[in-house]
Chains A and B, each alone.
Chain A
Amino acid sequence: MELSVLLPFIVNVIIGGLVLGFVYAIIALGYTMVYGVLQLINFAHSEVFITGAVVGFEIFRILENSAMNGYLKLLLALVAAMIVSGLLNVLIERLAYRPLRGAPRLVPLITAIGVSLILQDTLRFLEGLQGRFDLTYTLPAGFGNKFCAAEGSTCAPLGNFLRTIGVDVQLKDVILVVVALVSLSVLNYVVNRTRLGKAIRAVSQDRVTAGLMGIDSNRMISATFLIGGALGGVSGVLFGMKFGTINAYSGFDPGIIAFTAAVLGGIGSIPGAVLGGLLLGVIQNLIGVTNIFGNLLGLANLETIDASYSKIGPFIVLVLILIFKPTGLLGKSNVEKV
């Protein structure tokens, strides 16, 4: 392949990876916040987030023929998904994890796996009752168009500029990144600037001491699950927008990748989760096109590596990071005591 063709191609692959990475980053936040307060991998988070995706699908489906503004529809879908996923996450914590506080570590972990399975089949069942399995998003008109493609619009110069340097993005990708950035800054404000955030951080540092300081740790844990679930709802809608078609079981892969992202960035660290998500998105997209590099470098063996291998990329990253830097890129090390 010619270099003049390859370069824009690689740039697009990386941009696609970054867009994907923002979705992973927001899912990863759900894992990392819960891990921060409970030291539990919330396996059910992948289903909490796919619930958000299903809710988003339903909103878009119901509003498909209404004359409502596309952005308003999106806002409605996001809010509904946040509420449902957030409450679902709180409910899970209340029913399944809270009774097990203080049990050996494996016990809540196995429970989380169980909850995840239950939710998968429940979602499938609920959608199946209406005769659906694969849910295809009906996005508002124009979301799938090229970004700033319409001639004469105010942003046409930007769109033209991007196209001349070979960058090819859709409007929905831009919306996705904007929504992700907004939710990240809101989260950042809540965690770092409010009393609630301070209390959550205190609980995640040391639950017993936080309790002695008058913080109701159970309420804070519920709040964390609420925030994490709401983020899951947002990421679900974004995920549905990005991939178009989802089903009740499709939360598993992005869930694992997002967890890897959380570990890569340093579990418990919010900026780390974002960094890890972006990195993994890019890595995954690059693995998907390894065969083109192989072609370029004349390495025939690389040609057999195709997109089906991009699934195992995150696991390899996870193994490497856990072996060489278990605290993650931005995580703090903590010494284990007897």
Chain B
Amino acid sequence: MTVANPAKPAVRPPLVKPDRTVLLVLFFIVTSVLLLVSHETDIMRNLGPLGDVLRNKVVEALVVSLFLANVLFAYLWKAANWAKLLVGIGSLLFVLPLAGQADTSLLDLSIQIMIFAALALGLNIVVGLAGLLDLGYVAFFAVGAYTWSIFASPRFGEVLKYYGENPGSTGSGTLATGLVLTAVTAGSMVYIRGLHARTAPNRLSNLSFLLAGFGLFAGIMLVGRSIMVLFSGSAEALANGINPGFFWLFLALSVMTAALVGVLIGLPVLKLKGDYLAIITLGLGEVIRVLANNLDLYTAGSQGITPIGSASVPWFNSLAGALGFRPEQHYLLFLYVLVLIVIAVILLVNVRLDKSRIGRAWIAIRDDEIAAQAMGVPLMQTKLIAFATGASFAGVMGMIFAAKQTFISPESFNLLQSITVLSMVVLGGMGSFSGVILGAAVVTLLNLRILPGLGEASANVSWIPQEVNPANFNRFIFGSILVAMMLLRPEGLLPNKRVARELHHDQDQEDESAQGNASGLNAGGDVYSAGLATTKEDDKPGGER
């Protein structure tokens, strides 16, 4: 029916991005100067009316956004490598800390952006790569935060004091029992797993595995309890929490705890598909929040834990002092550098994982679970790794968040936080690392600077009623982001190529025929495309039903 196109196929000229080295460097210089000037009160005072404009909250938020856009452009634009490096390192390591010296809130904001970027990267692994919609992601963030906060705050002393006053029948005998129980049950679990590798698991072995699991739990509880009682004598000495030197140990511990909780939550629920998984993770996230609210002894309930300690590194402090930072800024500067390092590591892990065997397995599961299984991808294991990896990023950032805020309460970890992180991932583009970081920056800026700025600006205008205060419209704005992105650009702002191709399946086919390489195979494409349009749903393999 369709005759092969006799005309010579129109060859599209290859897209050549113009070289923008000069523009990039110029942009960097202009925004840096703007940022530095707008945060230097002495200069501002001399600027008169211009200074007033720059001090306006909205303008200030714009200046910060423009400055951060530097890094984005350095990534996106075609420019000489030296310029990209100059802009990236210059903005993050020199200009930002320098501006932060004049205005500490800037450092705070940057830390917050990077914390959320890490959260978004973690959720991106779960949602974007493995295709598992997790609506309780902030629970892992909470786990990391509480892991550190309980020990590094006066809470620890109070917990010890409580156990000192209520030792029950706990003694060194309990410790021994607990240790033996833990060892025996852990050993039998390993043994049963080994057995399962060789022979098919049956009901009895499954049951004993479960039983050993409960035994292990009980053993760990016993050990924990007796350790608490044995150490209760030092409650006085630890009244302000443990030595800050433990910070580094806990950095590793928080990663592990969060990953462990990820596995524990994932084990029962990862069998479920799509929307069921979404609602159950939402539920378990709420469960963790309710627990944090109710386990008063450990979490201080809704009052929250404060003050939470942080590491203190003498040589770093003297270095910061030499660079002209005031002593009260050392702490934030330290966290800024730490977060920068952690996010670099997380980014590296992401990029390496994406191309690895496990990353490809995630994408296979996302695209078609059943086909992936048929190809030999172990479903449960792969999903669990995705959950645990995502959780561990949240865990470490949770700890840093707690150290930065010095105060946490269950309210910092509600559902809206999970949805905020989700909207970052959706805005930037599921599966795209750069996109997700962009999303985190945009949403955090909106949340912390632009909306409050607009709110403050509108508060002074008499004809705007107070209820219209933009600062109260977080939900509306995140909701709109989610809906608008899904309807208009489901692949996100900086799409992952593979996701974009999948979401624009139809256009792609048209593109191909337009490009003219459709002579043989796609000759009948026009005939079929009409039919395809009506049964579009059947395009999606049944795995996602």
Q: Which residue of A lies closest to B374 (CB)?
A: A338
B286 at the interface (CB under 8 A from A): yes
- Chain B residue with the shortest CB-CB distance to A249: B475
Residues of A contacting B543 with CB < 8 Å?
Answer: 336, 338
B542: which of A102, A113, A338 is its contact (CB, 8 Å)? A338
B125 in the interface (beta carbon within 8 A): no
Interface string of B246-271 (1 = CB under 8 A from A): 00000000000000000000001101
Residues of B within 8 Å of A105, CB to CB, are: 274-275, 540, 544-545
Interface size class of B (residues with CB under 8 A): 35 or more
CA distance A252 to B279 in the complex (A): 12
Q: Chain B 134-150 against A: per-residue CB contact (8 Å), 1 yes, 0 no?
A: 01000000000000000
Q: Report the interface size class on chain A.
A: 35 or more
Contact flag A109-B482 (CB < 8 Å), given A100-B487, A338-B370:
no
B94 interface residue (CB < 8 Å to A): no
The reply to whether A312 and B290 contact each other, CB–CB distance below 8 Å, is yes
Q: Which residue in chain B gives the minimum CB-CB distance to A106?
A: B133
B327 within 8 A of A: no
Chain B residues closer than 8 Å to A260, beta-carbon distance: 283
Are A114 and B483 in contact (CB-based, < 8 A)?
Answer: yes
Min CB gap A47→B, angstroms: 10
**Which of B2-10, B69-77, B190-198, B465-473 participates in binding chain A?**
B465-473
The residue from B135, B290, B482 contacting A114, defined by CB atoms under 8 A apart: B482
Contact with A along B484-512 (1 / 0, CB 8 A): 00110010000000000011000000000
B541 within 8 A of partner (CB): yes
Distance (whole angstroms) from the CB of B450 to the closest CB of chain A: 17
Point out the residue from A41, A116, A125, A309 that lies within 8 Å of B279, measured CB to CB. Answer: A41
- Would A111 and B283 count as touching, CB distance under 8 A? no
Stretch at the interface among B156-164, B335-343, B531-539: B531-539
Chain B residue with minimal CB distance to A128?
A: B467
- Does B41 sit at the interface, judged by CB under 8 A? no
A308 CB contacts on chain B under 8 angstroms: 290, 293-294
Contact of A118 among B479, B486, B537, B542 (CB under 8 A): B479
Q: How far is the CA of A314 from the CA of B287 in the complex (A)?
A: 10
Of chain B, the residue at the smallest CB distance from A118 is B479
**How many Å lie between the Cα of A322 and that of B272 in the bound state?**
8
Q: Which of A110, A118, A256, A315 contacts B426 (CB 8 A)?
A: A110
Please tell me which one of the listed residues B269, B276, B473 contacts residue A121 in the complex, with CB atoms under 8 A apart: B473
* B127 contacts the other chain (CB 8 A): yes
CA A260 – CA B283 in complex, angstroms?
Answer: 10
Within the assembled complex, what's the spacing in Å between the Cα atoms of A260 and B419? 20
Q: Does A259 contact B (CB under 8 A)?
A: yes
Which residues of B sit under 8 angstroms from A102, Cβ to Cβ? 536-537, 539-540
The residue that B479 contacts in the complex, of A108, A116, A315, A322, with Cβ under 8 A, is A116
Chain A residues with Cβ below 8 Å from B401 are none
Q: Tell me, rounded to whole Å, the shortest Cβ–Cβ distance linking A89 to chain B.
A: 16
Q: Are B482 and A113 in contact (CB under 8 A)?
A: yes
Question: Within the complex, which residue of B278, B465, B545 is in contact with A109, where a contact is CB–CB below 8 Å?
Answer: B278
B544: chain A residues within 8 A (beta carbon): 104-105
CA gap between A102 and B133 in the complex, in Å: 18
In Å, the complex CA distance between A309 and B275 comes to: 25
Contact B283 A104 (CB under 8 A): no
Q: Is A96 an interface residue (CB 8 A)?
A: yes
Question: Which A residues, 4 to 57, have Cβ-Cβ distances below 8 Å to chain B?
Answer: 39-41
The verdict on B284 contacting chain A, using a C-beta distance below 8 Å, is: yes
Interface residues of A in 69-127 (CB under 8 A from B): 96, 99-111, 113-122, 124-125
Q: Which of these, B268, B280, B483, B503, contacts A96 with CB under 8 Å?
A: B483
Q: Any chain B CB within 8 A of the CB of A319?
A: yes
Q: Mark B409-440, 1 if CB is under 8 A from A, else 0.
A: 00000010001001100100000000000000
B436, chain A: closest CB distance, angstroms: 15
Asked if A129 lies at the interface with its beta carbon under 8 angstroms from chain B, I say yes
Question: Which residues on the B side are within 8 Å of A166 (C-beta)?
Answer: none
A332 to chain B, nearest CB (A): 15
Name the one of A116, A128, A312, A315 contacting B280, with C-beta atoms under 8 angstroms: A315
Inside 8 A of A226's CB, which chain B residues have their CB?
none
Proximity string of chain A (190-215) to chain B, C-beta cutoff 8 Å, 1 when within and 0 when not: 00000000000000000010000000
1/0 per residue, CB under 8 A from B, across A295-338: the answer is 00000000010001101101110110011001000000000111
The number of residue pairs between A and B whose CB atoms lie closer than 8 Å in the complex comes to 150
Residues of chain B within 8 A of A336, CB atoms compared: 370, 542-543, 545
Q: Does B481 interact with chain A (Cβ within 8 Å)?
A: yes
Q: How far is the CA of A119 from the CA of B503 in the complex (A)?
A: 27
A263 located at the interface, meaning its Cβ lies under 8 Å from any Cβ of chain B in the complex: yes
Q: Are B290 and A125 in contact (CB under 8 A)?
A: no
Task: Tell me whether A111 and B476 are in contact (CB under 8 A).
Answer: no
CA distance A101 to B370 in the complex (A): 22
Complex contacts, B423 vs chain A, CB 8 Å: 114
A17 to B2: give the CA distance in the assembly, Å. Answer: 67
Tell me whether B479 and A314 are in contact (CB under 8 A): no
Q: How far is the CA of A116 from the CA of B419 in the complex (A)?
A: 11
Closest Cβ–Cβ distance, residue B516 to chain A (whole Å): 28
Q: Are A103 and B542 in contact (CB under 8 A)?
A: no
- Separation of A115 and B423 alpha carbons in the complex (Å): 13
Bound complex: CA A124 to CA B468 (Å) = 10
Q: Would you call B284 and A117 a contact (CB within 8 A)?
A: no
Q: Chain B residues with Cβ under 8 A from A113's Cβ?
A: 135, 419, 422, 479, 482
Q: From B127, B268, B284, give the contact of A106 (CB < 8 A).
A: B127
Known: A104-B503, A106-B274, A129-B467. A311 touches B286 (CB 8 A): yes
Partner of A103, one of B274, B279, B468, B490: B490
Is B85's beta carbon under 8 Å from chain A?
A: no
Name A120's contact: one of B133, B279, B475, B538 (CB within 8 Å).
B475
Say yes or no for B348: interface residue by CB 8 A criterion. Answer: no
Q: Contact between A322 and B280 (Cβ–Cβ < 8 Å)?
A: yes
Contacts A312-B290, A315-B286, A319-B268 given; indicate if A109 touches B539 (C-beta within 8 A).
Answer: no
B514 on the interface (CB 8 Å rule)?
no
CB proximity of A291 to chain B, nearest CB, Å:
12
Within 8 A of A (CB), among B279-318: 279-280, 282-284, 286-287, 290, 293-294
29 CB < 8 A contacts A-B: A41-B275, A96-B483, A96-B487, A99-B487, A101-B536, A104-B503, A105-B544, A106-B131, A107-B486, A107-B490, A111-B483, A113-B482, A114-B478, A114-B480, A117-B476, A129-B465, A208-B537, A208-B538, A252-B415, A308-B290, A308-B293, A309-B290, A312-B287, A312-B290, A315-B284, A319-B268, A319-B283, A337-B542, A338-B541
Pairs of residues from A and B, 3 with the lowest C-beta to C-beta distance, nearest first = A114-B482, A117-B479, A315-B283
Q: A105-B540, A114-B482, A338-B542 are in contact. List 19 more A-B contacts (CB 8 A).
A: A105-B545, A109-B275, A110-B133, A111-B483, A116-B479, A117-B475, A117-B478, A118-B475, A121-B475, A256-B279, A259-B279, A312-B290, A315-B284, A315-B287, A319-B269, A336-B542, A336-B543, A338-B370, A338-B541
Q: Which residues of B contact A (CB under 8 A)?
A: 127, 131, 133, 135, 268-269, 271-272, 274-276, 278-280, 282-284, 286-287, 290, 293-294, 370-371, 415, 419, 422-423, 426, 465, 467-468, 472-476, 478-483, 486-487, 490, 502-503, 535-545
